[in-house]
Amino acid sequence: MLERIEVFELRDKYQGKKMSGFDVDKETGAVIVYPLNAVCHKGIYYSMDDGGPITFDGYISYIRHFVLQNPIQVPGTGVIVYKTNSYGEQEILLQLRRDFGQYGLPGGGIEMGETYEECAVNELLQETAYIAREEDLELLQVYAGPKHVTMYPGSGDIVFHTVVVYKVDASKCKKAPHMYDKNETKKIEWKTISEIQSLLEEDRVFPNNIPIFEDIVKNAPI
């Protein structure tokens, strides 16, 4: 974390230089975010007014406060963690979702201030307790459109998803010592490609993820 004095030094160096856009400080690598009057360093935003960290409200809940149940477009990520089992078959790590009771990829909506890589890593950790590094993620494909619209049970909220899908070799991940978030995940399971095909045929896939799972089966091995 940056100390306040470091933030203030950057403020003295950059504040008032521009109204919009950004600069990258060559010495610290910090990004000066002019529209926010803030400094971003290693994923943390700091106010150039008081030098302290900036806490953003949850993006989705913030938007919902204004639009209620009306449809909104939500960018997010999905992560394909893959490995080869002892029989030479490729397996994918899946999350059994608590809200729909169906299988999906670990992932979720991006929060304000996050990069897509940060979102992917953070959601993977939260929902599976697997730790991945941003530099090990490989961008696979971006999904959006009429096949990626979800109405959530209970709230009735409607979301048009844009899903940025990454893949990462399980050998580059570590298992965290804590459990996954049981509020979102019933359990995590490794599934072979043939088992994923069966999940699709049995209508046991989170609808938003169906086109992604179909591509996984079609293009296997990933």
Query: What average pLDDT does this structure show over 77-90?
Result: 98
- Residue 138: the pLDDT is 98
Radius of gyration, alpha carbons of the chain: 20
134 DSSP 8-state letter: G
Burial 46-71 (b: 16+ CB within 10 A, else e): bbbeebeebeeeebbeebbeeeeeee
CA pair distance 119, 123, nearest whole angstrom: 6
User: Domain check: are 90 and 173 in the same one?
Assistant: yes
For residue 111, being part of any structural domain is answered with yes
User: Does residue 1 have a pLDDT over 90?
Assistant: no
**Pairing between β-strand 107-109 and β-strand 72-84 as defined by DSSP bridges:** antiparallel
**111: domain CATH number?**
3.90.79.10
User: Domain check: are 102 and 174 in the same one?
Assistant: yes
Q: How far is CA 72 from the centre of its chain?
A: 17
| Residue 156: domain span | 59-219
CA pair distance 51, 163, nearest whole angstrom: 34
For residue 54, being part of any structural domain is answered with no
User: Are 216 and 200 in contact, with CB atoms under 8 Å apart?
Assistant: no
Query: pLDDT tens, 131-184?
Result: 999 999 999 999 999 899 999 988 888 999 999 999 999 999 999 999 999 999
For residue 10, being part of any structural domain is answered with yes
- Residue 45: the pLDDT is 95
Closest CA to 213 of 116, 75, 102: 102
Q: How many domains in the chain? A: 2
- Residue 155: the pLDDT is 85
Closest CA to 183 of 129, 130, 131, 127: 127
φ/ψ (deg, to 5) at 55? -105, 120
Query: pLDDT tens, 89-130?
Result: 999 999 999 999 999 999 999 988 899 999 999 999 999 999
